[in-house]
Amino acid sequence: MSLSIIILAAGQGTRMKSSLPKILHPLAGRALLEHVYIAASRFDTDGIHIVYGYGGEQILEQLSHLQVNWVEQAEQLGTGHAVAQAINDVPSVDDVLILYGDVPLITHETLDSLITASKDSGFSLLTSYIDDPRGYGRIIRDDKGDITSIVEEKDATEEQRSVCEINTGMMTVKAKWLKKWLTNLSNDNSQGEYYLTDVIKMAVDEGIVIESIKSESVVEIQGVNDRRQLSELERYYQMVQAHHLMNQGVTLMDPQRFDLRGDLEIGKDITIDINTIIEGSVSIGNNVNIGPNCHIKDADIGDNVSILPNCVIENAVIGKHCKIGPFARVRPGTRLAANVHIGNFVEIKKSEIGKGSKVNHLSYIGDSEVGKDTNIGAGTITCNYDGANKHKTTIGDNVFVGSDTQLIAPVNIGDNVTIGAGTTVTKDVEKDTLTVSRAEQKNIKGWKRPKK
Ligand code: UD1
Ligand code: CA
């Protein structure tokens, strides 16, 4: 039997109080809907269909990389109406798995059990027991324990409301049945909506047994309706990731003060101090130490690197044995070879720094190429921007750049050049040369400072 998946994601999410559609809000750096998509895409399917509505343009733009059939539900008339928009795109012979775009932590394993449970009867529901079932549809069973219907909270009697078994909304059902039942739904209920849950009763009337499985954990069926729930799931998910990393041998000084918003590839013996955020796609080699309060995004960190406190590194490659920080900013397009030192209050942008070179204090190096074993003194600035265009600075091997030097780009400095402190370099300097531009020093003996 082949499988199709429909993800419902058309709702606005009023309680988020946001101009961003709810399903685009990030959890661990990924849109809520993308989490559901990732769980869904691990199945071999005939297709994944996403029913979208509110914020459509934003959704299609931000999630254009998903391999799905986007189905628009122009007006949100209920979950049954939503599934009806997509069902004609599903082959009649398929089983359909229905998911919600705002229930991000559903696991592949639970969904796999749900699909398996539908194999005999053709219909299975994912239910859960929760202490406070308010707001959920209740699962109604007969004396034998068979499911007979789902009643929405707003339509339920007092007795039905006391039932703690709830509908998670996720189900597997035969497409050919849905195609028939969905055309017979009515919106004659307290919310005036076409309820998907009304198909339960239709199935039972046809003698179909509804199988059910219970979710392993409450978090995996938890929907996000407001920012508080979003933050609860975020903290839960971060803890799961932290445990996973620690199980793989990473030392986290405090797992509650570590955030991973993306994918992290790791070597052995990595220590990460508190309040560090890893974002996007990051790889970290062996024996790496990362100090507190660092933000590392889309970067490759080599073996034996030491990142001292309070560094920001983005879209950069850090070679082996480099030492970065404290308080360094390594900006996009930077490649540091092995054994490079980048010290405090140094900003490096779109530059390559050769093996063993050092930029230890208070400098800006942008659009530059620096050779190996070069020392760049404190307060060196590559003046790469003329107000309109960016220009390149090239510095050779074994160069000594004195403190407080300005390099007016475009400019080239040859190998073994020495630049005297305080120099403004406006012309290229050939190799093995000393260059210095400095107003002559005057000493006026016995000089008296003015008095008040
Ligand atoms: C639904 C179920 C309820 C279940 C609960 C679990 C129905 C009638 N009720 O209730 O039994 O306990 O989920 O959270 O199915 N959506 C659309 N288009 C629409 C309406 C909804 O795409 O026209 C999407 C929403 O974006 C959301 C999901 O369907 O992802 C559920 O909608 P929601 O309004 O939250 O359903 P509930 O009323 O909470
Ligand atoms: Ca809901």
Which ligand is located closest to the Cα atom of residue 225?
2
Does residue 79 line the site of ligand 1, with CB under 6 A? Answer: yes
Q: Answer yes or no: is 447 within a domain.
A: no
How far apart CA 224 and CA 23 sit, in angstroms, is: 9
How far apart CA 144 and CA 412 sit, in angstroms, is: 86
Does residue 10 line the site of ligand 1, with CB under 6 A? Answer: yes
Same domain, 271 and 158: no
Atom of ligand 1 nearest to the CA of 51: 22
Same domain, 195 and 295: no
Helix (H) or strand (E) holding 360: strand 358-361
Q: Answer yes or no: is 359 within a domain.
A: yes
Dihedral of CA 85/87/90/95: which sign? Answer: positive
Distance 75 CA to ligand 1 centre (A): 14
Residue 35 in tokens: 């989490």
Q: Answer yes or no: is 430 within a domain.
A: yes
Same domain, 41 and 61: yes
Same domain, 285 and 198: no
Q: Whose CA is nearest to atom 34 of ligand 1?
A: 11
Does residue 311 line the site of ligand 1, with CB under 6 A? Answer: no
Atom of ligand 1 nearest to the CA of 52: 22
Which ligand is located closest to the Cα atom of residue 13?
1
Domain boundary among 221, 256, 282: 221
Instruction: Return the pLDDT at 12.
Output: 87
Atom of ligand 1 nearest to the CA of 195: 8
Does residue 167 line the site of ligand 1, with CB under 6 A? Answer: yes
Distance 201 CA to ligand 2 centre (A): 21
Q: Answer yes or no: is 443 within a domain.
A: no
How far apart CA 251 and CA 270 sit, in angstroms, is: 6
| Domain total in the chain | 2
Which ligand is located closest to the Cα atom of residue 10?
1
Same domain, 201 and 239: no
Distance 260 CA to ligand 1 centre (A): 30
Q: Which residues contact 410 (CB under 8 A, 6 or more apart)?
A: 391, 392, 393
What pTM was estimated for this model as a whole? 0.93
Distance 38 CA to ligand 1 centre (A): 20
- Three-state DSSP at 41 gives helix
Distance 14 CA to ligand 2 centre (A): 11
Check whether the bond before 332 is cis (ω within 30° of 0): no
| DSSP letter for each residue of 92-154 | TTSEEEEEETT-TT--HHHHHHHHHHTTTTSEEEEEEE-S--TTSPEEEE-TTS-EEEEE-GG
Same domain, 198 and 306: no
Active site residue 243: no
Does residue 136 line the site of ligand 1, with CB under 6 A? Answer: yes
Same domain, 217 and 258: no
Q: Looking at residue 203, which CATH number applies to its domain?
A: 3.90.550.10
Q: Whose CA is nearest to atom 3 of ligand 1?
A: 137
The edge-to-edge listing of strands for the beta sheet with 306-307 is: 251-252, 270-272, 288-290, 306-307, 323-324, 341-344, 358-361, 375-376, 400-401, 418-419, 434-435
Place of tokens 């004659």: 188
Say if residues 96 and 1 touch (Cβ distance below 8 Å). no
User: What range defines the domain where residue 168 resides?
Assistant: 3-221
Taking only the tens place, the pLDDT of each residue in 161-208 is 999 999 999 999 999 999 999 999 999 999 999 999 999 999 999 999
Q: Answer yes or no: is 326 within a domain.
A: yes
> Considering 108, 295, 361, 391, which one is annotated as catalytic?
361
Which ligand is located closest to the Cα atom of residue 169?
1
Q: Answer yes or no: is 446 within a domain.
A: no
Does residue 45 line the site of ligand 1, with CB under 6 A? Answer: no
Q: Answer yes or no: is 397 within a domain.
A: yes
Same domain, 72 and 158: yes
Same domain, 327 and 417: yes
Distance 42 CA to ligand 2 centre (A): 24
Same domain, 303 and 192: no
Does residue 397 line the site of ligand 1, with CB under 6 A? Answer: no
Same domain, 310 and 418: yes
Spans of the chain, pLDDT less than 70: none
Same domain, 106 and 131: yes
* 215-222 long-range Cβ contacts below 8 angstroms, 24+ apart: 215/110, 215/126, 215/127, 215/128, 215/168, 216/107, 216/109, 216/110, 218/128, 218/130, 219/105, 220/103, 220/105, 220/106, 220/107, 220/110, 221/103, 221/106, 221/126, 221/128, 221/168, 221/170, 222/103, 222/105
Q: Answer yes or no: is 48 within a domain.
A: yes
Q: Looking at residue 324, which CATH number applies to its domain?
A: 2.160.10.10
